[in-house]
C-alpha cells in the first residue's frame, strides 16, 4: 500500500508520518515539496507518486489571520482538496481529509452529528467546509475526519501557549464560555490508523479500501472549556503553584474571527462504523505530556 501524506510537518501530519509507516510505504511531503496555495502544481506531483491513498493533513489553520487572507485560506482549504480528489480519481486512489468543528455555528446544546446543519461563523470554517464539499463532490472513496481543538508538543497551539505564559506570568486570563473537546494530534493519528486498518483489504482497488465513504467526527471524549483545559495543563505540568488562572467571558477577549460557543462533536458514527472509542481528553493530555500512567 502506497500512501501520500500531505502536510508532514503539521501537528497531525507529524504524528501520522510515524503511525502510517506501520501500514505501508509513506511518501510524506511538506509545504516546500507540495504547496496547496498553488493548485495548478498538484497534479504533476500526485501523478508522479501514484499513491493508493492520499492523506491530506495540511491546511491553512491560522483562524484569526484567515479573516484578512480569505483568498489564500480558500485556495489552501477550499480549492486544493478538490484538486487533490480529482487527481486521486484519475489513478483510482482514495483520500483521507481533515476538517473542523468550526463548520458549525455553536448554537447547539448537545454534540454535533455528522449530518447536523453546518453554518461556519468565520473564514477558516467557511474555507474548510468548502474543502469538504469539494472532496465529496468528486465521488472518490473518501473519509473526511472532523476534529476539534488540536494540540501537540510541536507547532503553535493552546497547550504550548499556556505552558509558555506560565513561565513568565503570575496570572493568565482564559475564556471560560466556549465548550468543546481538546484533541491530541496523536489520538487523531491513532484513530486514522485504526480506520485504515479496518478498511484496507488485500485488494488494491480504491473502492474496496473504505467501508463507508463519508464524514466522521473524531474528537477526544468528554468536554471542557478553554479555562478548564488550561487548568489541567498547569496541573499536569506541575505549574499550578506559579500561575493563577482567571476565567473571562469571550466578550472580554476579542479576536478577529468569531468562534462557536459550543462545538462538541459526537463520536457515535465512529463507534458504529469503525467500532472505535476516542480517549477522554484528560487521558490524551496526560499521554501527550508523556506522564507516567495513573
Residues lying near ligand NAP in the complex (CB under 6 A) are found at 7, 9-13, 30-31, 34-37, 57-61, 76, 98, 100-101, 128, 147-150, 155, 185
Q: Of 107, 123, 94, 135, whose CA–CA distance to 2 is shortest?
A: 94
Minimum CB separation from ligand NAP for residue 173, in Å?
20
Q: Which CB, 60 or 274, lies closer to ligand NAP?
A: 60
Cβ atoms of 219 and 179 within 8 Å: the answer is: no
Indicate which residue of 60, 98, 112, 124 is catalytic.
Answer: 124
Minimum CB separation from ligand NAP for residue 121, in Å?
14
Written as nine digits, the cell of 233 is 495543563
Largest CA distance in the chain: 58
Radius of gyration of the chain (CA): 19
Verify whether residue 124 is a known catalytic residue.
yes
Q: Which CB, 29 or 209, lies closer to ligand NAP?
A: 29
User: In DSSP terms, which residues pair with 275 in a beta bridge?
Assistant: none
Minimum CB separation from ligand NAP for residue 294, in Å?
26
Minimum CB separation from ligand NAP for residue 96, in Å?
11
Q: Of 264, 257, 255, whose CA–CA distance to 124 is shortest?
A: 257
Cβ atoms of 28 and 205 within 8 Å: the answer is: no
Q: Which CB, 76 or 166, lies closer to ligand NAP?
A: 76
Minimum CB separation from ligand NAP for residue 170, in Å?
27
Minimum CB separation from ligand NAP for residue 291, in Å?
22
How far CA 131 is from CA of 50, 64, 103, in Å, comes to 22, 18, 11
| Main-chain dihedrals φ then ψ at residue 149, nearest 5 degrees | 45, 55
Cβ atoms of 46 and 4 within 8 Å: the answer is: yes
Q: Which CB, 70 or 155, lies closer to ligand NAP?
A: 155
Q: Of 4, 1, 226, 227, whose CA–CA distance to 96 is shortest?
A: 4
Q: Which CB, 15 or 176, lies closer to ligand NAP?
A: 15
Beta strands in 74-131 (DSSP E): 94-100
Give the nearest residue (CB) to ligand NAP.
10
Percentages (nearest 5) of helix, strand, coil residues in the chain = 45, 20, 40
Q: Which CB, 68 or 294, lies closer to ligand NAP?
A: 68
What does the alpha-carbon distance between residue 280 and residue 73 come to, in Å, rounded to a whole number? 31
| Main-chain dihedrals φ then ψ at residue 67, nearest 5 degrees | -65, -30
Provide the annotated active-site residues. Answer: 124
Amino acid at each position: 500500500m502506497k500512501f501520500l501524506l500531505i502536510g508532514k510537518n503539521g501537528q497531525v501530519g507529524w504524528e501520522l508520518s510515524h503511525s502510517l509507516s506501520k501500514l505501508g510505504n509513506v511518501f510524506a511531503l511538506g509545504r516546500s515539496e507540495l504547496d496547496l496555495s498553488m493548485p495548478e502544481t498538484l497534479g504533476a506531483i500526485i501523478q508522479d507518486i501514484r499513491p493508493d491513498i492520499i492523506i491530506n493533513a495540511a491546511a491553512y489553520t491560522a483562524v484569526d489571520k484567515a479573516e484578512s487572507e480569505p483568498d489564500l485560506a480558500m485556495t489552501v482549504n477550499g480549492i486544493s482538496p478538490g484538486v487533490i480528489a480529482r487527481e486521486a480519481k484519475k489513478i483510482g486512489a482514495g483520500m483521507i481529509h481533515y476538517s473542523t468543528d468550526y463548520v458549525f455555528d455553536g448554537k447547539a446544546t448537545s454534540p454535533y452529528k455528522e449530518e447536523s446543519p453546518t453554518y461556519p461563523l468565520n473564514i477558516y470554517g467557511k474555507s474548510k467546509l468548502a474543502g469538504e464539499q469539494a472532496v465529496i463532490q468528486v465521488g472518490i472513496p473518501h473519509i473526511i475526519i472532523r476534529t476539534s481543538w488540536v494540540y501537540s508538543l510541536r507547532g503553535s497551539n493552546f497547550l504550548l501557549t499556556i505552558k509558555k505564559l506560565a513561565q513568565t506570568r503570575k496570572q493568565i486570563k482564559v475564556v471560560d464560555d466556549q465548550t468543546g473537546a481538546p484533541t491530541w494530534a496523536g489520538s487523531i493519528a491513532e484513530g486514522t490508523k485504526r480506520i485504515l486498518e479496518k478498511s484496507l483489504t488485500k485488494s488494491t482497488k480504491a473502492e474496496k479500501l473504505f467501508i463507508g465513504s463519508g464524514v466522521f467526527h473524531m474528537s477526544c471524549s468528554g468536554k471542557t472549556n478553554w479555562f478548564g483545559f488550561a487548568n489541567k495543563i498547569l496541573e499536569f505540568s506541575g505549574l499550578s503553584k506559579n500561575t493563577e488562572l482567571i476565567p473571562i467571558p469571550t466578550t472580554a477577549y476579542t479576536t478577529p474571527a468569531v468562534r462557536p460557543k459550543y462545538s462538541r462533536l459526537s463520536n457515535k458514527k465512529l463507534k458504529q462504523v469503525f467500532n472505535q472509542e476516542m480517549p477522554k481528553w484528560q487521558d490524551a493530555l496526560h499521554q501527550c505530556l508523556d506522564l507516567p500512567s495513573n
